[in-house]
């Protein structure tokens, strides 16, 4: 990934908004990583942004829709945990 338009598109898909100044800083870092032959994927952007802007403010909300506690001594059948994020269920 490189180039402002590509980074803009990936940020939009991740629902992350940056100021123009912050976007320039992040773009510069992504280009630096590319020059070092490091692949930067969409999934890497939140960590890259946190590193470049020296912040820890990017939060992804996860909601547990249901879960089951199992007593293995009794061996009651269970269902797996079912998390979700805004717009996506697993």
pLDDT digits (tens, 9 = 90+) for 10-48: 888 888 888 999 999 999 998 888 888 787 888 888 888
**Cβ–Cβ under 8 Å, residues 50 and 19:** no
Lookup: tokens for 76:
């009651």
As to burial, measured by CB atoms within 10 angstroms (0-12 exposed, 13-18 middle, 19+ buried), residue 27 is buried
**Range(s) of the domain holding residue 84:** 61-90
- Do 69 and 35 share a structural domain? no
pTM: 0.56
Percent of the chain whose pLDDT exceeds 90: 3
Same domain, 12 and 49: yes
Q: Return the pLDDT at 58.
A: 52
Radius of gyration for the alpha carbons in the chain, expressed in angstroms and rounded: 19
Same domain, 8 and 42: yes
């Amino acid at each position: 990934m490189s180039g402002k338009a590509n980074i803009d598109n990936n940020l939009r898909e991740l629902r992350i908004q940056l100021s123009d100044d912050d976007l320039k800083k992040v773009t510069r870092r992504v280009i630096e990583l590319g020059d070092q032959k490091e692949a930067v994927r969409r999934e890497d952007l939140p960590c890259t942004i946190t590193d470049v802007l020296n912040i820890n403010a990017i939060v992804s909300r996860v909601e547990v829709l249901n879960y089951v506690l199992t007593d293995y001594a009794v061996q009651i059948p269970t269902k797996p945990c079912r998390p979700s994020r805004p717009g996506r269920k697993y």
